[in-house]
Amino acid sequence: MIAGDPSLKHWNRVRRYASWMREVHVEEWSTLENDAFLKLRLNSPPGGWFPALQRLSLYITETNLPHANLFFSQHLKEIHIRLSWYWRISGIPPDILPVIASTISTLPTSSLQLLVVRTRDPRVPWEYFKDSFSSVILRCGPSFMEYISPVPLSDAAVNHLLQLPLLRAWSTHDPPPCCSTSSFPLAFPPLEELTLREGAIHGWVSLSKRLESGVSTTQAVTLLSKMKGSLRSLNVETLPGFIIDTSFTSLVQIFRNLVNLDVAADCQDEEGKEVEGQCTFKLNNDDVVGLSMTLSQLESLVLGHPCSRNVCITTVACLLPISVHCPRLRKLEIHFNTTNVIEDFKNISEDPRFQELRLLPKCPLTYLNVHRTPLTLDESGFETTANGMTDIFPSLRACCGLEYIWNRLSRRITGLQRV
């Protein structure tokens, strides 16, 4: 209808339907031809095509980019942006970058609550869009709740964002603004989900420690007081070599209501080569026990991707308190040394310190991700290890690892479950 030459009656019908719409998805593979967009622009009603639109999902392509504002509405509450798949292969043409930036700068924000950029291709020059996205954030009002994007923000935009009272979810690649803590709000907003990526991690962790140790003279609370009770999900996406030690976990433990803690640290680079130095996991069994006792609400726990070094000082003994103290846990990924795994399981069953823990209810974990953890077992060792694992995790179905021996162990565990 739109691509042809419809009558005035048909256009009026299209306008009427469009005026009712609350949600629109502009997909890459179903985009209209350029002449169709031109007809839409020529026949646009005075108040725009979608005056009541509240949710827009926009796949920006070379064809629809000049006409993206046809889908803008002052009532937009949610905006999801993606970039064309073709640009991920060939790169964004340089002459298109200013057009994208200009389009982003005109996004309506009077009712905006959520702004998400789904594309995370590292080849995209995200820094180029810093000014345009920062200008959008600086225009956001107190109703704004979520900013998830690989695009960096200016210091002014970050400071503005942290003063929005309803902010619930935020992801950042950048370190904190280069300013004193006195320029921050009286208290951080009650964030529920925080994602720290790459260059942001060390700066924000360091700042959080300073804010937690410094007390406001007027309120006798730290700037993190609200966030300490509200945070439910903490995601740390690191570069290889990030150290997981008590300096990091002691800060994490102030967020006692965490449901998800995901530290995507890796002892190997993207090509699978080991990073120089030792395993980046520096916790011992007692450290893990303390963490599990503090974060008892956890449903998902990832403390780095286990590596093949087998030099960490944690053992399978740390798994038992995790299972007991985190009764809701369904996902687990953690380093543990398997050099003396048979003796370690025997110690759990014989050591009186574990007697009480062994009798308490355990978490409903079904899959344990062991990643690259090595394992060497003879036939009797399979029996001991399978029994030990199911004693700690009664619902366990499989140990998911890259080495085939874990598959054999999983089959043994499955057999025990059937019995």
Q: What is the pLDDT of residue 123?
A: 81
What percent of the chain is modeled with pLDDT above 90?
64
**pLDDT > 60? residue 176:** yes
Percent of the chain with pLDDT strictly greater than 70: 91
Distances (CA, A) of 393 to 319, 326, 353, 358: 9, 12, 18, 11
DSSP 13-40: HHHHHHHH--EEEE-STTPPPHHHHHHH
* pLDDT confidence bin for 217, thresholds 50/70/90: very low
Position 158 confidence tier, pLDDT thresholds 50, 70, 90: very high
Predicted local distance difference test score (pLDDT) of residue 186: 66
Q: Span 163-187, mean pLDDT?
A: 80
Strand, coil or helix: what is 303?
strand
Dist CA 292 CA 294 (whole Å): 5
Q: What is the mean pLDDT of residues 240-261?
A: 93
Rg, the chain, Cα only: 26
- The pLDDT tens digits for 82-95 are 998 888 778 899 99
Output DSSP code: residue 270: T
Of 181 and 267, more confident: 267
> For 26-54, what is each residue's pLDDT tens digit?
888 765 677 788 888 888 888 889 999 99
Structure tokens given for 259 = 């449901």
Tokens of 413: 């565990």
Token pair for 42: 């020529």
Please determine, for residue 253, whether its predicted confidence score (pLDDT) is greater than 90: yes
User: CB–CB of 414/397 below 8 Å?
Assistant: yes
Cβ proximity of 160 and 138 under 8 Å:
yes
Residue 287, number of CB atoms within 10 A of its CB: 18
Neighbours of 104 (CB within 10 A): 21
Among candidates 322, 281, 279, which has minimal Cα distance to 300?
322
Question: Residue 336: what pLDDT?
Answer: 97
Please, what's the b/e burial string for 315-338 (b: 16 or more CB within 10 A of its CB; e: otherwise)? bbbbbbbbbbbbeebebbbbbbbb
C-beta atoms surrounding 201 within 10 Å: 21
Helix (H) or strand (E) holding 172: strand 169-172
Look up residue 135 and give its amino acid.
Answer: S
- Measured distance CA(215)–CA(97) in Å, rounded: 45
C-alpha span between 11 and 2 (Å, rounded)? 8
pLDDT at 220: 46
Q: Which residues pair with 115 in a beta bridge?
A: 79, 147
Six token digits for residue 289:
């026990």
For the cut 80, the answer to whether the pLDDT of residue 278 exceeds it is no
Mean pLDDT of 402-409: 93
Q: What 3-state DSSP class applies to 374?
A: coil
User: Is 65 a residue whose pLDDT tops 80?
Assistant: yes
pLDDT score recorded for residue 32: 64
The DSSP element (H or E) to which 331 belongs, if any, is strand 331-334
pLDDT band at 10 (very low <50, low <70, confident <90, very high): confident
Q: How far apart are CA 334 and CA 399, in angstroms?
A: 12
pLDDT of residue 418: 72
Report the pLDDT value the prediction gives residue 183, as an integer from 0 to 100: 61
C-alpha span between 344 and 148 (Å, rounded): 43
pLDDT, average across residues 76-81: 97
